Chain A
Amino acid sequence: MERKRAKRTYLGFSLLFVLLAVFLIWNLLAGSVSLSASEIWQILLGGGEDLTQRRIIMQIRLPRMMAALILGGALSVSGYLLQTFFHNPIAGPFVLGISSGAKLAVSLVMIFLLSRGVKSSSALLIGAAFVGAMLAMGLILLISQYVDQMSLLVVCGVMIGYICSALTDFLVTFADDSNIVNLHNWSNGSFSGMKWEDVETMAWVCGAALLLTFFLSKPIRAYQLGEVYARNLGVPIRAFRTALILLSSVLSACVTAFAGPVSFVGIALPHLMKALFKTAEPLLMIPACFLGGGIFCLVCDLIARTAFAPAAVSISSVTAVFGAPVVIYMMICRKAGRT
Chain B
Amino acid sequence: MKSYLKTEDLAVGYHGKPLIEEVSLCVQRGKIVTLIGPNGSGKSTILKTIIGQLPELSGAVYLDGETMRSRSRNDIARRMAILMTVRVEPELMTCRDVVSSGRYPYTGKLGMLREEDRKIVEQSLAQADALSFADSPFSAISDGQRQRILLARALCQQPQLIVLDEPTSYLDIRYKLELLSVLKRMVRENDLAVLLSLHELDLARRISDTVVCVAGDRIDRIGPPEEIFTSDYIAQLYHLERGKYDPCFSTLEFVP
| Residues of A participating in the B interface, judged by any CB pair closer than 8 Å | 1, 87, 214-215, 217-218, 221-222, 224-226, 228-229, 231-236, 274, 278-281, 283, 337-338
CB contact under 8 A between A280 and B139, given known A218-B107, A229-B101: no
Option from A222, A228, A280 in Cβ contact (under 8 Å) with B53: A228
Show 15 A/B contacts (Cβ-Cβ < 8 Å), sorted by A.
A1-B135, A87-B89, A221-B104, A224-B90, A225-B90, A225-B101, A232-B51, A232-B77, A232-B80, A232-B81, A233-B101, A233-B105, A233-B157, A234-B74, A274-B92
| Distance in Å: Cβ of B171 to nearest Cβ of chain A | 19
Interface: B42 (CB within 8 A): no
Q: Is the CB of A231 within 8 A of B88?
A: no
Q: Do B91 and A224 have beta carbons less than 8 Å apart?
A: yes
When C-beta atoms are compared, the residue in chain B nearest to A215 turns out to be B109
What is the chain A residue whose CB lies nearest that of B150? Answer: A229
With A and B bound together, what is the CA distance between A234 and B101 in angstroms? Answer: 12
B167 CB to nearest chain A CB (Å): 14
Asked whether, in the complex, the Cβ of B84 is within 8 Å of the Cβ of A228, the reply is: yes
Q: Which residues of A contact B16 (CB under 8 A)?
A: none
* Partner of A215 from B51, B98, B110 at Cβ < 8 Å: B110
> Residue B25 at the A interface, CB < 8 A?
no
| Minimum C-beta distance from A5 to chain B (A) | 9
Whether B94 contacts A1 by the Cβ 8 Å rule is yes
**Within residues 183 to 202 of chain B, which ones have a CB less than 8 A from any CB in chain A?**
none
List 20 additional contacts besides A233-B101, A234-B104, A274-B92; criterion CB under 8 Å: A1-B94, A215-B110, A217-B111, A218-B107, A221-B101, A221-B111, A222-B101, A225-B90, A225-B101, A226-B88, A228-B82, A229-B101, A231-B52, A232-B82, A234-B73, A234-B76, A236-B73, A279-B92, A280-B90, A337-B139
Q: Answer whether A218 and B51 are a contact pair too, CB < 8 Å, given A232-B80, A233-B77, A279-B92.
A: no
Q: For the complex, is B86 an interface residue (Cβ under 8 Å from A)?
A: yes
Contacts of B139 in A (CB 8 A): 337-338
A229 to B80 Cα, complex, angstroms: 11
Q: Is the CB of B102 within 8 A of A233?
A: yes
Contacts of B89 in A (CB 8 A): 87, 226
How distant is B36 from chain A, measured CB to nearest CB, in Å? 22
Q: Give A195 Cβ to nearest chain B Cβ, in Å.
A: 36
Q: Is B203 an interface residue (CB 8 A)?
A: no
Chain B residues contacting A214 (CB-CB under 8 Å) are: 110
Given contacts A280-B92, A280-B93, contact A218 B101 (CB under 8 A): no
Contact call A274/B76, Cβ cutoff below 8 A? no
Q: Which 8 A-B pairs have the closest CB atoms?
A: A218-B111, A234-B77, A234-B73, A233-B104, A280-B91, A234-B74, A232-B82, A280-B92
Residues of chain B within 8 A (CB-CB) of A281 are: 97
Q: Which chain B positions have C-beta within 8 A of A221? A: 101, 104, 111
Of all chain A residues, the one with the shortest Cβ separation from B112 is A283
In the bound complex, residues from chain B placing their C-beta under 8 Å from that of A337 are: 139
Question: Which residues on the B side are within 8 Å of A218 (C-beta)?
Answer: 104, 107, 109-111
| Contact yes or no, A229 B73, CB < 8 A | no
How far, in angstroms, from A234 to B88 measured CA to CA in the complex? 17
A117 to B200, CA, bound (A): 76
Closest to A232 in B: B82
Interface centre among B52, B91, B94, B107 (most CB of A within 10 A): B91
